[in-house]
Structure 1
Amino acid sequence: MNTAQNKYLRTAGILTAIASLMHIGIVIGGPDWYRFFGAGEMMAMQAEAGMIEPIITTLFIAFILGIWSLYAFSGAGMIFKMPITAIALTVIGSIFLLRGLLGIPLILTFNHPYLNELQEKMIFMVISSLICLLLGYLYLKGAYCKKKSINE
């Protein structure tokens, strides 16, 4: 197995697992954490009111990110083989790239209360967009290297 491929997918898996754990931390941290991490004032207010929706939404995101990290680890050969790994890695990488490329233009283009709120958090948007671009690159480069090593 190509060690460069392992490095890309291993790093993608670790970073995505950290993001998953951070979302769990947001639920534990409560309303101030929802605000800090860009979930929006509405979700923070719902958390303050003890509503279940922010918890379900945030844990669902954590779950998806956890599955994505498993796909990265699977592609790197670190764990069991997941179904349709090559396709999944490409889709995951593409989603991260799209979020990284379109996140800021989206909030600047459309008029929506949540998107307007994010306009005031441009540092958060820039940092999260750069992280998503990095993750997209790691997943796609890892998927490419995996495919290349299979075809050789």
Structure 2
Amino acid sequence: MPKNRYLIATALCCVIAAVAHLGCIVFGGDWYRFFGAGEQMAVLAEQGDPHPTIVTSVIVTVLLLWALFALSGAGVIRRLPLLRTALCVISAIFLLRGLAFVALMPLFPGNSLTFWLVSSAICLVIGLLYAVGTVQAWRQLRPV
């Protein structure tokens, strides 16, 4: 089975995003500010509060798990359980996050408009890559 370039690209995007989030944990407040996570997260990180690290660590873990599902769907690593379902759900989450940012903005008032526009565009692109890759691989992804 040829490797699915779209799903490989999504895995790479997820790994890059995870590394950027790890940078926030390692380099602290300035990185949280640069990526637009909000002044509150930046200040908490600078004060040594565990909240930013915990939240960001969860995001890193999820992104790396999603990268594994993309690689599995692409045929690069062994087939993971519930692969079709996972790829559909991951695609939907990224697409929803990319499209619904206007509704989410009031829930996170500390995040900058730049953060919302850039992160939403990135999520939309990743969601589209996941969706296209999933559709292309659908027949090969059927349960065995």
Query: TM-score w.r.t. structure 1 length?
Result: 0.86
In structure 2, the partner of 1:135 is 126
Instruction: Summarize the alignment of residues 32-43 of structure 1 with structure 2, pairs less than 5 Å apart.
Output: 32-43=30-41
Instruction: Summarize the alignment of residues 83-94 of structure 1 with structure 2, pairs less than 5 Å apart.
Output: 83-94=81-92
Q: 1:66 to 1:150 in 2, by over 3 A?
A: closer
Query: What is the Cα-based RMSD across aligned positions, in Å?
Result: 1.6
Counterpart of 2:127 in structure 1: which amino acid? G
Residue 104 (structure 1) shift:
2.9
Task: List gaps (5 residues or longer) in structure 2.
Answer: none
Identical-pair percentage? 42
State how far apart, in whole Å, the 2-side matches of 1:126 and 1:43 are: 19
Counterpart of 1:93 in structure 2: which amino acid? S
Counterpart of 2:113 in structure 1: which amino acid? M
Counterpart of 2:5 in structure 1: which amino acid? K
Instruction: Summarize the alignment of residues 62-141 of structure 1 with structure 2, pairs less than 5 Å apart.
Output: 62-107=60-105, 110=106, 112=107, 114-115=108-109, 117-118=110-111, 121-141=112-132
Counterpart of 1:58 in structure 2: which amino acid? T
Task: List gaps (5 residues or longer) in structure 1.
Answer: none
State how far apart, in whole Å, the 2-side matches of 1:26 and 1:16 are: 15
State how far apart, in whole Å, the 2-side matches of 1:43 and 1:79 are: 36
Q: 1:46 to 1:123 in 2, by over 3 A?
A: closer
8 Å contact kept, 1:16–1:66: yes
State how far apart, in whole Å, the 1-side matches of 2:118 and 2:45 are: 24
Q: 1:142 to 1:44 in 2, by over 3 A?
A: same
8 Å contact kept, 1:104–1:126: no
2:80 aligned counterpart, secondary structure:
coil
Number of residue equivalences: 142
Query: TM-score w.r.t. structure 2 length?
Result: 0.90
In structure 2, the partner of 1:146 is 137
